[in-house]
């Protein structure tokens, strides 16, 4: 038993010695990579140069509170001190970028993003930094895409009965994401097949119109809208789509008629007012646009949606600024 204990203790001692050796080697390597002398490091940490020398020789070691300061000074992480093959990066932004590339954790992206923004602000962003900054955004985009599909599909697995509003909103958002990934034909064909087998569901028709809109095929969308509105003359959501399609085709009077019709039937969340505000703004009729946004704000505030009302008021102010110009 004593032999086992001694052997185990010996192993732990050897492991500690190895870790300390790696640590001290990295201390010197990182200092030299940054071009610092021992005296410069000592001055920055408010210690004497002999202390830095003893750390690098392994005679003594810095306390745990000093490690983060050293890491920041050498633009590495604390863990890097204990890795045998640690790399000395040009700056802390690059180091944090490498962390995010490994973890794909959004919190690590936020940390790296903050460091890159410091470099931008100080006008010290190198060409390599620009590449790295683009890379982490690329990884974040893929992370977001994968998670969006995962959670969208979770909603769809539960079906319409779980939450009708969430289900149909998810269907259109998933379709939009697919469109952004170049899957417009897949969207259209899939929705056409659904319509053939379930032509009495107005939501499916709305999704078909959206599929054509996302693909930029507005004439075809207009044709399908006419079929849909003949079949469902009292569905406000169809008229919103019809207005958007007409607007894209430059049929502004017709677009306004469709939005007004949606309002007469009764939309869900001031949808027709938002559409009209946007239409007026595009046409340069800023006073009418402001009027619509303020009407939205009043309606939402009466319903208790204060935050949304403030957003509408902010939009009104932005349009007012165009009038001043």
CATH code: domain 16-84 is 1.10.260.40
Could you state, in order of their start, the residue ranges of all structural domains in the chain? Answer: 16-84, 89-158
Q: What is the secondary structure of 114-181 as a DSSP string?
A: HHHHHHHHTT---HHHHHHHHHHHHHHHHHHHHHHHHHHHHHHHH-TTT-HHHHHHHHHHHHHHHHHT
Q: What is the pLDDT along the chain (325 residues), one digit of tens a residue?
A: 444 555 776 777 777 777 778 788 878 878 877 788 889 888 888 888 888 888 888 888 888 888 888 888 887 888 878 777 777 778 889 988 988 988 999 999 999 999 999 999 999 999 999 999 999 999 999 999 999 999 999 999 999 999 999 999 999 999 999 999 999 999 999 999 999 987 899 999 999 999 999 999 999 999 999 999 999 999 999 999 999 999 999 999 999 999 999 999 998 889 999 999 999 999 999 999 999 999 999 999 999 999 999 999 999 999 999 887 6
Burial (CB < 10 A; 0-12, 13-18, 19+), residue 266, is: exposed
Q: CA torsion, points 175, 180, 182, 188, in degrees to nearest 10?
A: 30
Residue 59: both structure tokens together: 């005679």
Query: Contact, 49 vs 104, CB < 8 A?
Result: no
Nearest of 71, 133, 136 to residue 103 by alpha carbon: 136
Q: CA torsion, points 217, 221, 223, 227, in degrees to nearest 10?
A: 160
Query: Contact, 262 vs 237, CB < 8 A?
Result: yes
Compute φ and ψ for 39, nearest 5 degrees.
Answer: -65, -40
Query: Contact, 299 vs 277, CB < 8 A?
Result: no
């Amino acid at each position: 038993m004593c032999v086992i204990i001694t052997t185990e203790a010996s192993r732990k001692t050897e492991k500690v010695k190895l870790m300390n050796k790696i640590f001290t080697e990295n201390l010197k390597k990182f200092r030299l990579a940054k071009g610092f002398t021992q005296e410069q490091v000592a001055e920055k940490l408010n210690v004497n140069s002999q202390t830095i020398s003893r750390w690098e020789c392994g005679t003594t070691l810095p306390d745990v509170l000093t490690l983060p300061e050293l890491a920041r000074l050498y633009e590495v992480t604390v863990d890097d001190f204990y890795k045998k093959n640690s790399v000395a990066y040009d700056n802390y932004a690059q180091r944090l970028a490498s962390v995010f590339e490994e973890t794909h954790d959004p919190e690590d992206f936020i940390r790296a993003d903050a460091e890159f923004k410091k470099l931008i602000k100080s006008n010290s962003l190198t060409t390599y930094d620009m590449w790295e900054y683009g890379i982490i955004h690329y990884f974040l985009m893929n992370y977001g895409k994968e998670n969006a599909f995962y959670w969208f599909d979770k909603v769809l697995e539960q079906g319409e009965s779980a939450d009708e509003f969430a289900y149909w909103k998810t269907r259109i958002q998933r379709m939009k994401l697919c469109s952004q990934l170049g899957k417009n034909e897949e969207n259209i064909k899939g929705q056409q097949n659904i319509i053939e087998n379930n032509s009495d569901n107005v939501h499916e028709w709305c999704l078909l119109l959206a599929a054509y809109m996302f693909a930029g095929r507005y004439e075809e969308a207009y044709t399908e809208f006419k079929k849909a509105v003949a079949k469902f003359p009292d569905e406000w959501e169809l008229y919103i789509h019809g207005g958007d399609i007409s607007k894209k085709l430059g049929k502004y009077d017709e677009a306004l008629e469709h939005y007004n019709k949606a309002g007469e039937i009764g939309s869900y969340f001031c949808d027709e007012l938002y559409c009209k505000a946007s239409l007026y703004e595009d046409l340069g009729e800023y006073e009418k646009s402001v009027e619509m946004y303020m009407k939205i704000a009043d309606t939402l505030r009466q319903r208790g949606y204060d935050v949304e009302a403030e957003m509408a008021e902010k939009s009104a102010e932005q349009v007012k600024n165009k009038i001043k110009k």
